[in-house]
Amino acid sequence: MTIPISTITTFRATFNPFSHAARPCRVFLSLLRTPSTTGTTAPIDIKVTQLPRTSTQPPVMTIGFKGGKELTLEVGKRGLKIGDVVEEVSRIGRALEREASLKS
């Protein structure tokens, strides 16, 4: 499943990089920062807050889409895996692309 990069405008993440629960945040961030996505016409505003190694705060990701829609995923509390995150983001991105194609 692919991520509709063109619909994502912002990405915010707060996580402890040494925590196993933060793996989906790290992997999703690496999917956004590839050479093929950095040259897009609308750059993604990425802000990452790394917590200290001893932090027990669960990882959280907030993804902003075109049109002002925001998706906040509490990755640590819900026990999400990277496939779940990609599926959720893709679902919303496809819906936004479909809306845009119907309007034009």
Which pLDDT value is given to residue 100?
Answer: 86
Show Cβ contacts of residue 18 under 8 Å, excluding neighbours closer than 6 positions.
53
Which pLDDT value is given to residue 6?
Answer: 85
Show Cβ contacts of residue 7 under 8 Å, excluding neighbours closer than 6 positions.
65, 66, 92, 93, 96, 97
Which pLDDT value is given to residue 61?
Answer: 95
Bridge partners, 14 (sequence order): 49, 60
In a domain, 67, yes or no: yes
In a domain, 93, yes or no: yes
Which pLDDT value is given to residue 54?
Answer: 93
How far apart (Å, rounded) are the C-alpha atoms in residues 37 and 87? 18
Q: What is the CATH number of the domain that holds 26?
A: 3.40.30.10
What are 83-103's pLDDT values in tens digits? 999 999 999 999 999 998 898
Show Cβ contacts of residue 92 under 8 Å, excluding neighbours closer than 6 positions.
7, 65, 69, 71
Which pLDDT value is given to residue 67?
Answer: 86
Which pLDDT value is given to residue 2?
Answer: 78
What are 8-63's pLDDT values in tens digits? 999 999 999 999 999 999 999 998 876 666 665 678 899 999 999 999 999 999 99
Q: Rounded mean pLDDT of 57-76?
A: 93
In a domain, 1, yes or no: no
Handedness of CA 5, 35, 80, 52 (dihedral sign): negative
pTM: 0.86
Number of structural domains the chain divides into: 1
In a domain, 2, yes or no: no
Q: Which domain holds residue 54?
A: 7-103
Q: Centre a 10 Å sphere on the Cβ of residue 61 and count the other Cβ atoms it contains.
A: 23
